[in-house]
Chain A
């Protein structure tokens, strides 16, 4: 499997299937792990970083659970490749910076990815479509155990898995759920919801992880606390919160349909119309309009297009994806034209 093959492939998390996939785009769990005694990446010299990279690559090659995974050394990738992987949520934006002695290991279905030498030696991530953290946990727990048979992780009985940043100590686990909440945004209830989430020590982020703004009504919610609770307890806590948010979003959708159906149908159809007919379109506008079309799809207002197509469009209209599809560098203006062309093509009925 090569990087260019990914482009013809739908990431697992974009499939638009799984529980509550009308509101929940995807679920993700990541575990932070470090090799015992070896300095954490920010504090390690070049030799130690290379050592970690070699140990982890060798181990992955032996582990049955990761038989189909490919190791991509970031030093071998150009900036477009790296941005492409970030857009697919296979690695973080931070990981793409200063790429020496770093790698990302990706399985063929894009369910599992392991960042090597990011903030911790290993950042293992598992993604699933829909509201499915328990499934993510089962997969990632198996992989963690398999790796742990070969590797000794930094661990203390009192404090659990030891990580570079004390905010990750303990389980080293972060569970995240990506939600699409257009009705809560349109009915201006979202700020109340977000404030409540923050009070319960959960964090909200945008579509592209840490430090990004929530755009197009997408919100990524994750746990902040990683010590003092078991992994299952943390997951159950997130699940409890997410279920309530889903209920609120559903109520807001129902209210809008019953009180304001014409307004809603107008917005959905106009959005669909622009996407089907535009010749120049920015990334920001695309996300906002696709968000409306997805809502129309969920509410049965648009029937001739499926969720998977819409989900895919969110990703393939991103800058690095457009350039990968075109096979060359594109200026911002060229991208806006190419983006519109791809959308028209995909939404042709």
Chain B
């Protein structure tokens, strides 16, 4: 059998290519196979690269990582390493400990400096100053404005709950699954 590409040398390498679900068999000589292989290296996908970057963590953390799972969408860290894509926004929180270094390697920084959504900007305001909220609560109680005080108390509770959730995620709690 002669090489499918040059048609001159005998084919010694047999290759099966799958592109968009279409299977294609190629029979190549050694020289053309080498050229083809260089071409295939260039197509080496982004997900492979990302998986490679994430791989850095492996030696000491393998056990912890293997049980890590996003509570919102059930994507595991192992899934992420395989496909190079996160499952949902909450994955970032669930895998925070490992994604921080990864983002830093990709972007050279892991701190967002761009715009903040209008909605979150509003929601952030009370969150920024827990101390202020506590002070306000104190004042409301002193002034016997109990309805207002209850509202502020709920805000504080909500904030604390969120904070502890975030802390847990930072620790990469293996029980989070």
Q: Any chain B CB within 8 A of the CB of A63?
A: no
Q: Decide: B114 and A36 in contact? CB cutoff 8 A.
A: no
Interchain CA distance A153-B112 in the complex, whole Å = 15
Q: Decide: B75 and A34 in contact? CB cutoff 8 A.
A: no
User: Contacts A40-B86, A42-B83 known; A225 to B108 CB distance under 8 Å?
Assistant: yes
Q: Which residues of B contact A170 (CB under 8 A)?
A: 107, 112-114
Q: Which of A141-149, A180-188, A288-296 touches B?
A: A141-149
Q: Decide: A157 and B106 in contact? CB cutoff 8 A.
A: no
Q: Which of A69-77, A99-107, A128-136, A160-168 touches B?
A: A160-168
Other-chain contact of B114, A38, A145, A230 (Cβ < 8 Å): A230
Total number of residue pairs linking A and B with CB closer than 8 Å: 124
- A window 151-179: CB within 8 A of B: 152-167, 169-171, 173
Q: How far is the CB of B156 from chain A (nearest CB, A)?
A: 19
Q: Decide: A229 and B113 in contact? CB cutoff 8 A.
A: yes
Q: Which of B10-18, B57-65, B115-123, B135-143 touches A?
A: B115-123
Interchain CA distance A38-B89 in the complex, whole Å = 8
Q: Which residues of A contact B93 (CB under 8 A)?
A: 156
Specify the main secondary structure of chain A where it touches its partner.
loop
Q: Which residues of A contact B50 (CB under 8 A)?
A: 165-167
Q: Decide: A229 and B114 in contact? CB cutoff 8 A.
A: yes
Q: Decide: A36 and B118 in contact? CB cutoff 8 A.
A: no
Question: Which residue of chain A has its CB nearest to the CB of B50?
Answer: A166
Q: Decide: A166 and B111 in contact? CB cutoff 8 A.
A: no
Question: Which residue of chain A has its CB nearest to the CB of B92?
Answer: A162
Specify the main secondary structure of chain B where it touches its partner.
loop
Question: Which residue of chain A has its CB nearest to the CB of B99?
Answer: A166
Q: Which residues of B contact A233 (CB under 8 A)?
A: 113
Q: Any chain A CB within 8 A of the CB of B102?
A: yes
Interchain CA distance A231-B114 in the complex, whole Å = 6
Q: Any chain B CB within 8 A of the CB of A47?
A: no
Question: Which residue of chain B has its CB nearest to the CB of A145?
Answer: B118
A interface list, Cβ under 8 A from B = 34, 36-40, 42-43, 97, 119, 141, 144-145, 148-149, 152-167, 169-171, 173, 201, 225-231, 233
Q: Could you pull out 28 A-B pairs where Cβ atoms are within 8 angstroms?
A: A34-B88, A37-B90, A39-B73, A39-B88, A42-B85, A144-B115, A145-B118, A152-B117, A153-B119, A155-B116, A155-B117, A156-B93, A157-B112, A159-B103, A160-B112, A160-B114, A161-B114, A162-B92, A164-B85, A165-B46, A166-B86, A167-B50, A171-B114, A171-B115, A227-B112, A228-B113, A231-B114, A231-B115
